[in-house]
Structure 1
Amino acid sequence: MSEQELPRPAKVTIAFLIRMLNDGGAQRQLCELVRAMDKTRFRVCVVAMYEGGRFKAEIESIPDVELITIGKRHTWDVVGALLRLVREMKRIRPQILHGYLDLGNVLSVFLKPFLPNVKVVWGLRNAGIQLKKESRAGKILAELERHLSRYPDLFVANSNAGQTYHVSIGYPEDRFIVIQNGTNTLKFAPDPLARQQMREAWGVLPDSPLIGIAGRIAPEKDHVTFLKAAGEVNNHRSECRYCIIGGGDEEDVAKLKLLAESLGIAEKVIWTGSFSEMNRAYNALDLLALTSQSEGFPNVVGEAMATGVPVVVTDVGDVRTLVNNTNVICPPGDASRVAATMLNVLASLSYPPPDLRLREQIEQNFSLDALRRKTEEALWKII
């Protein structure tokens, strides 16, 4: 019997392969996806190369999802980690091996010879722009990924921008599907009590508009533009406060704090550091800003909108599709335009949030159920 004639199994084993379950949008989406998948049709395994990470405990708590950690110790721990990985994969015997991000994608191709008839899927989460200097290992992985792109059976991009970028550098266009991120609208929902509690904890007065930016502190997120815009907003609305939700490199954070001081808004900026209770954080806000230079499909925008919080965004990735409102979209890097748009939104919003029209936009178009359904259909077709 040829490979094409192999019977489809009643229950498909899928292994998601990822570097680490640390804090990040891709890791959060993986967690939500494996939670939502139909366990009567799929046996779901998550394989992480490194121990730990914010989402490890959460995935361990999901019924009928097996989590395997390979215990890779450092970047150049290669031979031992690969031997352990091959052993675990032979035990799991997946019909589908789904790489997630660069390391998972590259390793999935190298595992093919050990897994007869396995279908390899790559999850592609970026749209090309990387402002932070890559490490030597990162550059090697990126080149390997590009050269190995002829081998996967399917590419799943989380944005049209991501597909366009990868096709432009040589990925085969005929094997792509775009499945945009899903938002957990049960978790991210209006919560007046959480709003009150978080604002009290952060020392924000009930009538002070709070403008936030959420996500790791990294050059491509362009917190510099956010702070410059905040400085301009402060000239017109001195009662506003600003919240930077997320952690990052100490040197990057220190530079941003110096910038806030030079702009005269240091006393008005809240720095939360790494923050896990994002549903509570969004509820505290009156406006969320995304000032990124590059995105695929930003989770934070969908999550804020599901909470009923208005947004101001830069024109990156698939943001236009997500917000469906050109009045809140600004050119990347244009702090004055971002500030003017923030002021317009603050002047027009019903105070305080939630704006349930924003929540409805996410529920109807970017739900977790849509993510699950589209993913399962795409995976089932390649078996």
Structure 2
Amino acid sequence: MARGKIRLALLIHRLDPGGAERQLMALAQGLDKEKFQVLVITLYPGGALSDELKGLKGVRLESLKRKRRWEFPIAMARLMSSLRRSGAHAVYGFMEVPAQMSLLVGRVLGLKVIWGLRRSARDFGDYERAEKVSFQTGRYLSSWADLIILNSFKGKEDYAHAGYCARRMEVVPNGIDTDHFVRYVQKGLELKRSWGLGPDNRAIGVVARLHPMKGHEIFLRAAQRVAARHPDVFFVCAGRGEPKRLLYLQGLACGLGLGEKVIWAGEVQDVVSLYSALDLLCLPSIYGEGFPNVVGEAMSCQVPCVVSNVGDSARVVGDTGLVVPKGDSEKLASALDDLLAESGEGLAHRGKLARERVLCEFGIEKMVVSTTRLIESLMWGQPASFTISG
């Protein structure tokens, strides 16, 4: 292929406000438009981020307008038509189903095919059967992809262990928008007031969808221990979830004597204000994490973090926060106690170190540059000239 602009199609389920979607948005915006023509294709129409993406200069958006799973053949035909019309040179599928669709269509059209896989090992008992089928199918198709980009070293290890093609894999950690994720003290105080908290109350938050992988039960059991020793502390659960799951967790909180101590914030649109309202962020996931965006975002907002040793959470936090074994509520409570016992100045220093770590290691520009070099290497047949420490 003669050198010129690379016409790159990015394929994803829909533009909901999730981690993969945010990374796609950051990549689409950050790619050098002197080198790339970018087309974003969604399987399903709509999504809270669609208007934001439409406003990005040099990025086009199309939808396959899939509505039901059985419309898969129709979606495949529409994807083939869209890629032909755009004259794409490469297609990059984010998550397993879009990745596999990109392979099946991309091979027919003679395109370079890139997969974006963003998780580590998971418990398929908590997912629909289709999720397990998709994962197993990917195992057999992965060697046909030209490049597999993962956002975590643990994800690379787990996918390779599961039989995915390791020689195609490269790791590019997520990029955090450090210009956007900045701590605003006043906004945080205003949000705390809306929760009924005073300036002397401290807040520990889990910012995650209400899914079993996120370990909310572990957090609530740890909160019971922490609340007994720190009556000024409240606990925030922010994230969307199924009503049945929410009722179960609320019942568990009441059974633990935390009915008045837990704030069920739901899905918060202004996450910068949310992080600014927290004194500590906790991510007690029990499986499935790759690179957890919420940890990087909170660190960028100078919030010290306590995380379980799942995915690359410990690698992201480094020595700015604390890491505990997954599923251990006692160790989690102890770690939270340790940070709560630090002086205000000590926690503020931790927060500054956390932001400095994100600025140095996990900025958006670094993610975009690394991805650009991998794609250019794939297209032009030259080795990518960068390294990422493992």
Report matched runs for 1:225-244 at 5 Å.
Answer: 225-244=218-237
Q: 2:303, 2:228 → 1: CA distance?
A: 23
Q: CA offsets per residue over residues 121-179 of structure 1, 9 Å max, x none?
A: 00010111135533232233222211111110001010000111111122222211100
Report matched runs for 1:187-198 at 5 Å.
Answer: 187-198=180-191
Aligned residue number for residue 364 of structure 1 = 360
Is the contact made by 1:210 and 1:285 (CA closer than 8 Å) also made in structure 2? yes
Is the contact made by 1:123 and 1:155 (CA closer than 8 Å) also made in structure 2? yes
| Runs of 4+ deviating beyond 6 Å | none
Aligned residue number for residue 384 of structure 2 = none
In structure 2, the residue corresponding to 1:144 is in which secondary structure? helix
Aligned residue number for residue 195 of structure 2 = 202
Q: 1:365, 1:112 → 2: CA distance?
A: 33
Q: 1:274, 1:220 → 2: CA distance?
A: 17
Is the contact made by 1:131 and 1:219 (CA closer than 8 Å) also made in structure 2? no
Aligned residue number for residue 144 of structure 1 = 137
Q: CA offsets per residue over residues 99-137 of structure 1, 9 Å max, x none?
A: 100111110111124423x11000010111135533232
Is the contact made by 1:132 and 1:218 (CA closer than 8 Å) also made in structure 2? no
Is the contact made by 1:306 and 1:362 (CA closer than 8 Å) also made in structure 2? yes
Aligned residue number for residue 158 of structure 2 = 165
Report matched runs for 1:1-383 at 5 Å.
Answer: 6-8=1-3, 10-116=4-110, 118-130=111-123, 132-294=125-287, 295-325=289-319, 328-350=322-344, 353=348, 355-383=351-379
Q: 2:370, 2:107 → 1: CA distance?
A: 28
Q: 2:134, 2:30 → 1: CA distance?
A: 30
CA 1:382–1:328 in structure 2 vs 1: closer, same or farther (change >3 Å)?
Answer: same
Q: Which runs of 5+ in 1 are unaligned?
A: 1-5
Q: 2:302, 2:7 → 1: CA distance?
A: 38
CA RMSD in angstroms comes to: 1.5
Range with greater deviation from structure 2 (239-248 or 26-35): 26-35
Is the contact made by 1:15 and 1:46 (CA closer than 8 Å) also made in structure 2? yes
Q: CA offsets per residue over residues 50-95 of structure 1, 9 Å max, x none?
A: 0111221221121111111110011111232222221111101211
Q: 2:376, 2:33 → 1: CA distance?
A: 13
In structure 1, the residue corresponding to 2:93 is in which secondary structure? strand
TM-score relative to the length of structure 1: 0.95
Q: 1:244, 1:371 → 2: CA distance?
A: 29
In structure 1, the residue corresponding to 2:231 is in which secondary structure? coil
Is the contact made by 1:93 and 1:115 (CA closer than 8 Å) also made in structure 2? no
User: Between the two proteins, what is the percent identity of the paired residues?
Assistant: 33
Is the contact made by 1:286 and 1:353 (CA closer than 8 Å) also made in structure 2? no
Q: CA offsets per residue over residues 31-66 of structure 1, 9 Å max, x none?
A: 122111111111111100101112212211211111
In structure 1, the residue corresponding to 2:232 is in which secondary structure? coil
TM-score relative to the length of structure 2: 0.93
1:381 maps to amino acid: S
Is the contact made by 1:320 and 1:326 (CA closer than 8 Å) also made in structure 2? no
In structure 2, the residue corresponding to 1:177 is in which secondary structure? strand
Is the contact made by 2:138 and 2:164 (CA closer than 8 Å) also made in structure 1? no
Q: Which runs of 5+ in 2 are unaligned?
A: 380-390
Q: 1:131, 1:80 → 2: CA distance?
A: 28
Aligned pair count?
376
Is the contact made by 2:308 and 2:314 (CA closer than 8 Å) also made in structure 1? no
C-alpha deviation, 1:333, in angstroms: 0.7
In structure 2, the residue corresponding to 1:78 is in which secondary structure? helix
C-alpha deviation, 1:24, in angstroms: 1.6
